[in-house]
Amino acid sequence: MLEKRIVVCLDVRDGKTTKGIRFKDNQDIGDPVEMAREYYLQGVDELVFYDITASAEGRGIMIDVVRRVAREIFIPFCVGGGLASVEDMREVLLAGAEKVSLNSQAVKNPGLISAGARLFGNQCIVLGMDVKSDPRFPSGYGVLINGGRTETGRDALEWAREAESLGAGEIVLNSVDADGTREGYELRITRLISGQAGIPVVASGGGGRPEHLAEVLTTGQADAALIASMVHYGDYRISGLKDYLFSQGVPVRRV
């Protein structure tokens, strides 16, 4: 059985790690370089770095912060935020990332996915999806962009399938409704996308207790669980979360 992964997310704004609830009321909580180093030492499987205002502000990613984080960790590292060209992707990969996350820019220009996959390989291209419950769509969920600020008119399942066909090698599926609430992952859409996609799906949004991780990695059929608040505020350590998952029969890498 394949090991399930724990992924820590660093949302970065103006050079600082920040956290909000449902994409609102963000508060700065620390230095992303120091936090990345700490989570690496705790045994996290992967790290995701999002420059959360790059797309909305129409600017490039904070590449200097990416370089500084990459020097501190020796695990898969995914970077996203405002990547609008293959040149942007190349710059991030040369700065030390193993993967690039395409979200808003991929919806605006789906050809970015296939261009990136062709040049760098499918395993490098991660589709970031911000989804929100919406009964107007067949899946029951619509896709938002620009940090959850803009509706796209796209159905979540339809977009996931299209992105996979274009060459995305992984999906990070974030529920805007659950984001930052710490009340549990959105299992319905996670199970739907995981069951239909032929590529790994990382569940994001709502992790608050170890039980939530076990639930989304089993019932939710996710390949990995992304967390933020539950470790950013010191409530849990990565090693303790993995010990719990192991005790529940969830296969994880333990140091």
Q: What is the pLDDT of residues 188-215, one digit of tens each?
A: 999 999 999 999 999 999 999 999 999 9
Predicted local confidence at residue 254, as pLDDT: 86
**Region 80-84 average pLDDT:** 89
Read off the pLDDT of residues 42-62 as tens digits, 9 standing for 90 and up: 999 999 998 867 666 776 678
- The catalytic site residues sit at 11, 130
pLDDT for the residue numbered 63: 87
Does position 241 have pLDDT exceeding 90, yes or no?
yes
List b or e across 30-58, with b for residues whose CB sees 16 or more CB atoms inside 10 angstroms: ebbbebbbbbbebbbbbbbbbbbbbbbee
Band (pLDDT 50/70/90 cuts) for residue 22 is low
pLDDT at residue 9 above 80? yes
Q: What is the fold, at CATH topology level, of the domain defined by 5-247?
A: TIM Barrel (3.20.20)
Identify which of 18, 22, 45 has the alpha carbon closest to the alpha carbon of residue 204.
22
CA–centroid distance for 225 within its chain: 9
pLDDT band at 112 (very low <50, low <70, confident <90, very high): very high
- Is 60 in a helix, a strand, or coil? coil
Using the predicted structure, report yes or no on whether residue 84 has a pLDDT greater than 80: yes
Q: In the block, which residue shows the tokens 């207790």?
A: 209
- Mean predicted confidence (pLDDT) in 17-45: 78
State the pLDDT confidence band at 180, using cuts at 50, 70 and 90.
confident
Per the model's pLDDT, the better-predicted residue between 208 and 31 turns out to be: 208
What's the CA gap between 226 and 202, in Å, rounded? 6
- Please name which of 226, 229, 232 lies closest in space to residue 34, comparing C-alpha atoms: 232
Evaluate whether 190 touches 145 at the Cβ level (below 8 Å). no
Tokens of 240: 């303790």
pLDDT for the residue 173:
98
Residue-range domain boundaries for the chain: 5-247
Per-residue model confidence (pLDDT) at position 52: 65
Average pLDDT over residues 163-171: 98
CB 253 within 8 A of CB 45: yes
Write down the pLDDT at residue 26.
61
**Full-model pTM:** 0.92
- Whether residue 16 has pLDDT greater than 90: no
Region of residue 116 (left: phi > 0; alpha: psi -120 to 50; beta: else): alpha
| Average pLDDT of the residues in 214-237 | 95
> Per-residue pLDDT averaged across 76-103, rounded?
94
How many Å apart are CA 166 and CA 188, to the nearest integer?
25
**Which of 47, 3, 44 shows the shortest CA–CA distance to 241?**
44
Rounded CA-CA distance 252/177 in Å is: 27
Q: What is the mean pLDDT of the chain?
A: 92
pLDDT score of 152 more than 90? yes
pLDDT of residue 118: 98
Cα 31 from Cα 122, distance rounded (Å)? 31
Yes or no: say if 176 and 130 are a contact pair by the CB < 8 Å rule.
yes
Say how far apart CA 123 and CA 245 lie, in whole Å. Answer: 26
